[in-house]
Amino acid sequence: MLLLPALLATTGTGTGTTQAADTPFPGFPSPWASSTNTSDPSWADAYAKAVAFVADLTLTEKVNLTTGTGWQADRCVGNTGGVPRLGFRGMCLMDGPVGVRYTDHNSVFPAGINVGATFSRQLMRLRGEALGAEFRGKGVDVMLGPVAGPLGRVPQGGRNWEGFSPDPYLAGVAMAETIRGIQSRGVVACAKHYILNEQEHYRGSVDVRIDDRTMHELYLWPFADAVRAGVGSVMCSYNRINGTYACENEWTTNYLLKNELGFQGFVMSDWGAQHTTLGSALGGLDMAMPGDGGPPPYRSWWGGALSEAVLRGDVPQWRLDDMAVRIMAAHFKVHAGSNYTSRPDINFSAWTNQTVGYLHPSSNTSLATVNEFVNVQSTHAALIREIGAKSIVLLKNAHSLLPLHKPPSIAVIGSDAQDPPHGPNACPDRGCDSGTTAMGYGSGTAEYPYLISPASALLSHSLSHNISFTNTSSNWDLPTAMSVARNASVAIVFASALAGEGYITIDGNTGDRNNLTLWDNGGALVRAVASVNPRTVVVLHTPGPVLIKEMESNPNVSAILWAGYPGQESGNALVDVLYGRVNPRGRSPFTWGETGDDYGTELMWNVGEDPRRPVQRFEEGVFVDYRWFQQPGNGRVARTVYPFGYGLSYTRFRYADLKVVRREDVPGRFPPAEGMTGPAPTYGVVEGGELARYTPPIGFERISPYVYPWLNSSEGFVAGGGRGNSSQFPAAATDGSVQPVLPASGASGGNPGLYEVLYTITASIRNEGEVAGTEIPQLYVQLGGEDNPWGVLRGFDEVELEPGETKTVTFELTRRDVSNWNTATQNWEITDREKFVFVGSNVRDIHLNASLPAPVGMAWRIG
């Protein structure tokens, strides 16, 4: 999400419709929510309530729900119009994935990438619940998160840390658990950014070319989990896909999301990512954010311009009704049991920290009490500390230096250990490099209530345990760092790298990281410290991989910990692991390569001939992160410093007894979905008649700027120029007649048969060490054939074990887990290639393996 008014202004110059000419898939018409109404009971109740509500609305009231009131027009970062006649206030939408942005008395949670590193469904869920409770406590209706786009195609990607992992299975599990947690607290979650927004450079113009199979098996996968978890909203991204902007892309929105995945909620634009009136409406967008930014006279692509388009017949009424039904269905889904008027009040303003301020800051009108400083932190600090500690990945621990047992003295070295000198919130949206790093920068941030730095946590631990503590903050004064390190029994050196959103540039990095090395001389600092102290511990706060081959092989670097972006309890979480209160159990949610080139994917730094339309081809297909490093023949296997899923413990585990049980009652082949939808329903009066009916009521006092749903004139249509008309679209775009059901569809997340369990796999795991610990067993499936990776993650668990204890871990493989996407049949299928399962402690340390028996009714083609 971008929040710069300057950029919003530049989006007002679009040129009518921009539909891709050669889409091989029927992306029109935009599926109406009712088309799968009976097959998804989880939405049925919400849908019925939404229909009842929308049936009572006028055209302008419906349009009000679909269009933001404009940047800073109301108190939240996104605000829709309301239905004052029925006592329904507009919706409040707020960033972001680590906490409620732009307010106070909130918490800052560990970033998504840390949550991925926990490999813990339980912690994912608990964090979602806590986030949901904080948004709810401020009166927010829609939380703009969690993130599965970017997925993490390139490690330099500026916003990768907001999401969970470049592995779609892990990201999908984290999406689903987070969404269930958020929505259980009465807040609509928003799966973003949909889709293929994999870098910050040129994000508003880049045109991504991707094949259908890679789309399904990699980038769409976690969004399918989000839809299956019942996510209420999805945010379309800034980029283009195959020539068409994501927010008017009939392939990604209509065909994939709403039709194949059966998404019943609403699609909102990223801020300023809408470029047309008709293209977006017919292409499946349901809510325009922040609402302004279109051409005059409406200064919005929707609002009054959408009302005109419906009255002109260019957007069918059923499409508008569907937008409104989808928005209200998401709302009622998370407010089960309560009615719309009993919604909490918004009790903060994103735009001021004063008690009294404007309700409408963009027009400086309606002075009122806007901030009630409601404390929503509850007991979340304990959970934040727990996730912080359990997401730390112990990469190296030579001679079992860790956990520390009361060393006589420690030296804490590096700026990344320190309290930010001007406070943790000194720079807007964390847009500077100062002190310890515990989140990235950009819109995916929140204000810290406090930030426990590693230096302060280590100092207080030292004071209470009679450990001599010295500390130095400069990364450039190597002589001082060395002399401090030389004197200490243990030297703990900190280094970081920053990443964030591209509207902020730090040290020449415009969101995306320019390189994969440590910032601020970090590599030299580690080298200098290690040159004088063989008990050097390195702590890394980075958004993803950095190049650490040198420290991995440096014998004086005894330990390396990756702590990610842990949020407000950073230092406490670290102390818990360093001193063994928490036995490390985090696992790397990405691969650590030897060089940047080893990743096999490239960020697009420079455009080709046409700077307005840089084309980016995802030619590596599904071979991203470990799927690429594991490829035989490309030489990268050896160039993995630490593999995906890797992480050490203070104890040791032993794997045994792999058992694969095939379900005898579930055949391998399953029936594709078939049949027809109902026709597109409309609700309420069919609109038409005098235009005066659609202008503001007499005596209504407009404020300006503010986006309204009314027509500007009762004399005629004025939106005019550049808006296009429906004849520029295929006839199907406005066709509300019955439509065929796609083979892979049928319910939220796709055909329910995809989620049937075909195999149950068990293994026993024993703690063979002296201390209690948690193992994260991982299951990889080899789908077979050269066009599949060596293995893909398809299961994981967290197994807590006392010393000497043995437990059985159980993995369930669904049909989807063992399928590939068949582009010809447009469906998932289990190929006849022999398949194998591997169980291990990371993608490279496989302890057990077995051939998967062919499913009932199928045989493998061997060889």
Binding characters for ligand NAG, 136-175, by CB under 6 A (x = yes):
xx-x------------------------------------
The only residue of 1, 46, 76, 83 in contact with ligand NAG, by rule CB under 6 A: 83
In the bound state with ligand NAG, the residue whose beta carbon lies nearer, of 42 and 760, is: 42
Query: Per rule CB under 6 A, is residue 82 in the interface with ligand NAG?
Result: yes
The only residue of 160, 472, 827, 841 in contact with ligand NAG, by rule CB under 6 A: 472
In the bound state with ligand NAG, the residue whose beta carbon lies nearer, of 25 and 790, is: 25
* Residue among 102, 177, 172 nearest 132 (CA): 177
The only residue of 17, 19, 30, 37 in contact with ligand NAG, by rule CB under 6 A: 37
Lookup result for tokens 């540039």: 505
Query: Per rule CB under 6 A, is residue 300 in the interface with ligand NAG?
Result: no
How many other CB atoms sit within 10 Å of the CB of residue 265? 30
How many residues touch ligand NAG (CB under 6 A)? 60
How many other CB atoms sit within 10 Å of the CB of residue 828? 22
The only residue of 339, 355, 366, 634 in contact with ligand NAG, by rule CB under 6 A: 339
* Residue among 771, 829, 846 nearest 805 (CA): 771
Stretch that binds ligand NAG, among 151-159, 467-475, 575-583, 644-652 (CB under 6 A): 467-475
| 74 is a catalytic site residue | no
Q: What amino acid is encoded at 437 in this protein?
A: T
Distance CA 50, CA 329 (A): 5
Are 607 and 765 in contact, with CB atoms under 8 Å apart?
no
* Residue among 380, 305, 337 nearest 109 (CA): 380
The only residue of 320, 327, 395, 484 in contact with ligand NAG, by rule CB under 6 A: 484
Query: Per rule CB under 6 A, is residue 515 in the interface with ligand NAG?
Result: yes
Least distance from C-beta 49 to ligand NAG, angstroms?
9
* Residue 676, both tokens: 């027809």
* Residue among 266, 274, 115 nearest 181 (CA): 115
Distance CA 294, CA 128 (A): 35
In the bound state with ligand NAG, the residue whose beta carbon lies nearer, of 363 and 631, is: 363
- In the sheet that holds 207-209, the strands lie side by side as 244-245, 240-241, 207-209, 615-617
In the bound state with ligand NAG, the residue whose beta carbon lies nearer, of 122 and 355, is: 355
Lookup result for tokens 């970033």: 111
In the bound state with ligand NAG, the residue whose beta carbon lies nearer, of 209 and 847, is: 209
What are the angstrom distances between the C-alpha of 278 and each of 266, 319, 852? 17, 11, 50
The only residue of 45, 212, 477, 620 in contact with ligand NAG, by rule CB under 6 A: 212
The catalytic residue among 95, 225, 270, 416 is 270
Least distance from C-beta 722 to ligand NAG, angstroms?
25
3-class secondary-structure state, position 772: coil
Query: Which residues between 520 and 549 bind ligand NAG (CB under 6 A)?
Result: 520
User: Is there a cis peptide before residue 730, judged by omega within 30 degrees of 0?
Assistant: no
Query: Per rule CB under 6 A, is residue 355 in the interface with ligand NAG?
Result: no
Distance CA 773, CA 223 (A): 33
* Residue 714, both tokens: 């009762």
Query: Which residues between 387 and 416 bind ligand NAG (CB under 6 A)?
Result: 408
Are 587 and 646 in contact, with CB atoms under 8 Å apart?
yes
Query: Per rule CB under 6 A, is residue 507 in the interface with ligand NAG?
Result: yes
**Dihedral (CA of 400, 406, 410, 414) sign:** positive
In the bound state with ligand NAG, the residue whose beta carbon lies nearer, of 349 and 782, is: 349
Query: Per rule CB under 6 A, is residue 570 in the interface with ligand NAG?
Result: no
Least distance from C-beta 601 to ligand NAG, angstroms?
16
The only residue of 341, 379, 464, 606 in contact with ligand NAG, by rule CB under 6 A: 341
Structural element, H or E, at residue 480: helix 478-487
3-class secondary-structure state, position 766: strand
* Residue 432, both tokens: 């500077």
* Residue among 528, 807, 714 nearest 60 (CA): 714
Least distance from C-beta 635 to ligand NAG, angstroms?
23
Within 259-409, residue ranges assigned H as helices are: 278-282, 304-312, 317-334, 380-390
Rg of the Cα atoms in the chain: 27
Stretch that binds ligand NAG, among 324-332, 339-347, 604-612, 767-775 (CB under 6 A): 339-347
The only residue of 681, 724, 791, 855 in contact with ligand NAG, by rule CB under 6 A: 681
Stretch that binds ligand NAG, among 77-85, 532-540, 570-578, 593-601 (CB under 6 A): 77-85
Distance CA 743, CA 26 (A): 13
The only residue of 68, 99, 295, 709 in contact with ligand NAG, by rule CB under 6 A: 709
Least distance from C-beta 700 to ligand NAG, angstroms?
7
Q: What amino acid is encoded at 432 in this protein?
A: C
User: Is there a cis peptide before residue 29, judged by omega within 30 degrees of 0?
Assistant: yes
Distance CA 85, CA 56 (A): 11
Query: Per rule CB under 6 A, is residue 473 in the interface with ligand NAG?
Result: yes
Binding characters for ligand NAG, 363-392, by CB under 6 A (x = yes):
xx-------x-x------------------
Tally the C-alpha atoms within 13 A of residue 276's C-alpha that lie toward its C-beta: 27
In the bound state with ligand NAG, the residue whose beta carbon lies nearer, of 374 and 858, is: 374
In the bound state with ligand NAG, the residue whose beta carbon lies nearer, of 196 and 801, is: 196
3-class secondary-structure state, position 753: helix
Stretch that binds ligand NAG, among 93-101, 206-214, 230-238, 842-850 (CB under 6 A): 206-214
Least distance from C-beta 695 to ligand NAG, angstroms?
10
- The catalytic site residues sit at 270
Q: Which residues bind ligand NAG (CB under 6 A)?
A: 20, 23-25, 34, 37-38, 60-61, 64, 69, 81-84, 90, 136-137, 139, 209, 211-212, 242, 251, 339, 341-342, 344-345, 347, 353, 363-364, 372, 374, 408, 418, 455-456, 459, 466, 470-473, 483-484, 487, 507-509, 514-515, 517, 519-520, 677-678, 681, 709
